[in-house]
Amino acid sequence: SADDLLEPSWVRREPDAVAPVLAGPIYRLRGRAGGGIVHMRSFLARRARIEREQREARRVRIEREQRAARRTELENSVLHEVGPAGTRDIPFLEASPGWFEGPRENRFFADWQRSSACGHRIFDHWAFDIHDLDDRGRREIDFIPRPLKMPAGKLALGVNISVHRLMERIEAIDAEIGLTFAWFFLMTHGRWVDPDVGDAIAEGLRQGRVRLPGRDAAVLLAWADKKYLF
């Protein structure tokens, strides 16, 4: 009966003065060693929590497998670059080093804040070509930085060019753009300053042959250790 359900006669209780008060229906678990009493409301809450945890674990596992498959796909891919010298094939990770080290977009803004450039508004010097795509059910967002002012020519690492000459060239670029450390951010794009220039200057810093302001040196050395490019 309903009375037996809400107040089952098989539950042994202490005298009312010391008996714990349980809210809600109480059920006995059959087939459980030694028997047992379960508070149904707590049981259902626990069951729902376990189900949520299992679903979350499955979701995380599936996403991890998808990321691994995506990484393998990218690592094995080749980019076709067309330039004045013709067409050449570049392995994806060579063209985009540090792709798996964290969002390059976030690093670009973080490096701006950490460097001498932070005294200027980033939007006074850069526009951002933002992409928001849905690729086969997977959302991908990124941006490509576009300088509002570009140097007259590209700075490349020429044969036998000294690191001191490179320092003169990057200072000239900064003066031309009107922004300290402008050359570094142009380098992350790669079109106006060759990334090899950054590697050469970073090596000069390590050897004590050249100097940069402390905050700029830290940014450059971190980039040289884990590169990102657009």
108 part of a folded domain? yes
On whether both 143 and 37 belong to a single domain, the answer is no
Residue 74 has pLDDT above 70, yes or no: no
Residue 180 has pLDDT above 70, yes or no: yes
74 part of a folded domain? no
Q: What is the pLDDT of residue 170?
A: 97
On whether both 141 and 212 belong to a single domain, the answer is yes
On whether both 39 and 110 belong to a single domain, the answer is no
Q: How many other C-beta atoms are found inside a 10 Å radius of the C-beta of residue 75?
A: 12
On whether both 137 and 204 belong to a single domain, the answer is yes
Residue 182 has pLDDT above 80, yes or no: yes
Of 13-27, 79-93, 132-146, the range with the lowest mean pLDDT is: 13-27
215 part of a folded domain? yes
Q: ∠ at Cα 81 (77, 85), nearest 5°?
A: 145
Q: What is the pLDDT of residue 48?
A: 80
Residue closest to 41 by CA, chosen among 30, 31, 28, 26: 26
Tokens 């050359």 correspond to: 183
Number of domains, the chain: 2
On whether both 221 and 114 belong to a single domain, the answer is yes
Cβ–Cβ under 8 Å, residues 200 and 212: no
Q: What is the pLDDT of residue 59?
A: 83
Residue closest to 109 by CA, chosen among 192, 185, 32, 37: 185
Average pLDDT, the chain: 80
Q: What is the pLDDT of residue 9?
A: 56
Highest mean pLDDT among 4-8, 93-97, 148-152: 148-152
pLDDT tens digit string along 188-215? 987 899 999 999 999 999 999 999 999 9
52 part of a folded domain? yes
On whether both 103 and 217 belong to a single domain, the answer is yes
On whether both 49 and 113 belong to a single domain, the answer is no
Of 8-17, 33-42, 62-71, the range with the lowest mean pLDDT is: 8-17
- Three-state secondary structure call for residue 83: strand
Beta strands in the chain (DSSP E): 26-28, 37-39, 78-83, 86-91, 126-135, 138-147
124 part of a folded domain? yes
On whether both 148 and 43 belong to a single domain, the answer is no
On whether both 123 and 176 belong to a single domain, the answer is yes
Of 56-65, 92-101, 109-118, 137-146, the range with the lowest mean pLDDT is: 92-101
Q: Return the structure tokens found at 103.
A: 């969002």
Q: How many other C-beta atoms are found inside a 10 Å radius of the C-beta of residue 37?
A: 14
On whether both 27 and 141 belong to a single domain, the answer is no
81 part of a folded domain? no
Higher confidence at residue 52 or residue 14? Answer: 52
On whether both 219 and 153 belong to a single domain, the answer is yes
Q: Which domain holds residue 168?
A: 99-225
pLDDT tens digit string along 21-64? 545 555 555 555 545 566 767 777 877 888 888 888 888 888 77
Q: What is the mean pLDDT of residues 104-109?
A: 92
Q: How many other C-beta atoms are found inside a 10 Å radius of the C-beta of residue 182?
A: 24
10 part of a folded domain? yes
On whether both 180 and 103 belong to a single domain, the answer is yes
List all residues 6 or more positions away from 115 whose beta carbon is below 8 Å from its beta carbon.
Answer: 180, 181, 184, 215, 216, 219
Q: What is the pLDDT of residue 13?
A: 52
176 part of a folded domain? yes
How distant, in Å, are the alpha carbons of 8, 25, 43, 173 from that of 2? 9, 10, 20, 86
| Banded pLDDT at 133 (limits 50, 70, 90) | confident
